Structure 1
Amino acid sequence: MPTPKHLVKYFHENKTAQKPIYFLCLMILFWSIYDGTMSFLAPLVITNSGLTATMMGIVIGTSGIAGALFDFFVCRVFKNTHYRKIFMIMFALCLIYPVILFKANTFAIYILAMAIWGVYFDLKNIGNFDYVGRFTKKAKHSDSFGLVQVFLSLGYLIAPIMVGAIIAETLDWKPFALAWIFLVISILFFGLLVLFTRKEPAISIDERKERKRSTWSEAKLWGQIGKILFPVLLLTLFLNLIDAFFWTVGPLFAESMQGMEKFTGFFMTAYSLPALLVGWFVGYFTRKFGKRRTAALTLLIGSVIMSLIYFAHAPIMIMTTIFCASLFISMSWPAINGAYADYISEASYYEEEIAGLEDFYTNIGYVIGPMSAGFLADRLGNGGTFSVLGICGVILAFYLLLHSKKHINVVKELKS
């Protein structure tokens, strides 16, 4: 996961970089504050309407299902579609989503709201890929995506702090209005982005041409590569499941802590902040232990710490435990992303399949995560839910350490 270290490096190496990328970054910053605010509000609004945590998890899980369906079917409509059109549709959905969520009073309307959420989130990803693909050289793609991700992470760090202070007394229209304000600011930067890229030359069509395969041969190849990369994909699923757990049950856990009414947002900050810190030193561990081993070891340590949350009762102890657990688990993200980069580098012909599988397992994590989080919260309480998650992480980490191959070469494995 990119960090401020990535930001410093990018500015140093790209002093003459195209200015529009910074408008995209600012657009994403304010959009992520908007989306972070809505992500914090969604579980609170749904449970306040009378639905149980289990039903709330099912509702939020439908956003992942909508995203997965959109990936496989609807997004074909957007092939070779300009980022301007993609982002315009995304912003249109973003504008109506808060209204639907605020006014929702039936299970079906909540499902509709989550479907909109899942679709506009995928549109954000598609728009980012289209912009970077059009206006940056292939060698700079990773740097550009990393720069955007830093601003995205900052937005999700800021949002819970602000919304937590606003809803300290009551959950009303104010946080929704705040989300809209940040969305409007994001739209303004989108306008500047369009203005400054109207005359920018795009890369050639040939460089962006997709390979054609039949649906059956593509599905068969996905199955073969998925079997080879299964341990890594399983870790990807679980890391996204952890993220879904925190954004589903985290706001409820924060709201339940006595004496912390105006500081509930710091619960999510304790979880989000480490992702912006680990980039300064994670490279040392990946060089020493290897990328996949580092990911498994840090998941193991972080999960052990997380399993202790059930025994922490004071708010400061809960947040400290969350921060320490997240500090280690956050190191798994850049380590495993580095492993994917290695696989793609060694098997560049299968880049689309590897990236597609990673995205597919990410969506599975965001479907299973909210549903299982809500189910466990109803039966074990918020603290018990995170402890169970930690225990599952320990089991998975041991499996990865004991059963994963030392090195995976996709091309050789496919030929054998």
Structure 2
Amino acid sequence: MRPKTKRRDRTQRLERYLTLAGEAGSIAMSLRDKPTPLDWIGVALRAVGVLIKVNAERRGAIAKNPWNYFDDHAGELWTEVPTEFHRLIFENLAECAIDEAYWDGDAGSPYLCRGVVGGEVVGWIGEGDAVVDGPYVLCAREAQTYRALGERVWQRIGGRHVLFGNAGLVLDPFGVDDVRPTAQMRELETRMQRFLDAELARSYLFAGPPGTGKSLAIRWLVRRLGLGSVRIDLGVLARLHGYHGSQSVATSLETLLQLLRPEVMILDDLDRVAASGPLLHFLEIALRTCQIVMASANCTDKMMGAALRPGRFDEIVRVDRLDPEVLRGLLGDDADLCERLAPLPAAYVAEFVKRRRVLGKDAAIDEIADLERRCGIVAEKTEAENDA
């Protein structure tokens, strides 16, 4: 938003017109021996134009500094919206207006601007068309502001499952209709339902090597339990804030929690961020807000012991390999391959089944060695990352 209003535009135009008229009157007066009434009117107009300009300069001199506004305006405390939610705020703003008391009138100077989201005030500082600081929300109305914004997000997405990833907040494509649940998944569904029926919030950490089906199991369980969810790719937050940016990551997660207030919160790749104090505190807040909190991690070795205690994660679910029943179901008539494929994670077995269907059994069997080699490379890299 540029720092212009209709009133200021009119004032600036009037100043220019009066100055031009005054200049014309002065020129005409200098060409005559005896000034006419019109000449004097021109001089008067010029004087009025000068007065308007002086008033504008005086107003600029007494304008308040917008950079001081958010520090402590009349006892009101403000908090800045995390960077990854700036666009979301501005997409949903209404009634934007510049506070001329915090602008000196120069189009290149910073100015204070405010708007509303669902009746809640949002403020920021701009220069020209750019936002140079903010947006901010009132600390006392932070929860209400994010709730109002969250209602608009749910309406826009139009589904019960939301994913926060590289594209921001989008509909989460679960895609679990053709999943073969393992015995472990079925048992866990029954266990979770019992805690839901008892109205007890629970948290679960799914741990296991890459490709073992942790994320798929989580999505299947959410769908079976009939709950709405918000899934967060912690890899995205890690790229924004760094592995050790625990405080910033926790702030972003708390903002998402206030914004969407899901029944289930899913944290993908928890081991991408440091599980230190701020993140542990967030886990406790999430458990008081959601019915279920679920997270996945390739390895728990780097996590603080405090992260693994009940209250942060009530249950640790190990996901290593496909159970024999599901493996036999996937292989069908090729049950003789069970022994060779059993050590592979679920993703590699699923890839073998796809190749068998498209390329034929013999070609798929010839390529098992390639799948085994790739699985080993991934395992080595994951182990190296965990040791780093």
Calculate the TM-score normalised by the size of structure 2: 0.24
Per residue, is there more helix in 1 or in 2? 1
Per residue, is there more strand in 1 or in 2? 2
- Structure showing greater relative contact order (alpha-carbon pairs closer than 8 Å, 6 or more residues apart): 1
Higher radius of gyration, 1 or 2: 2
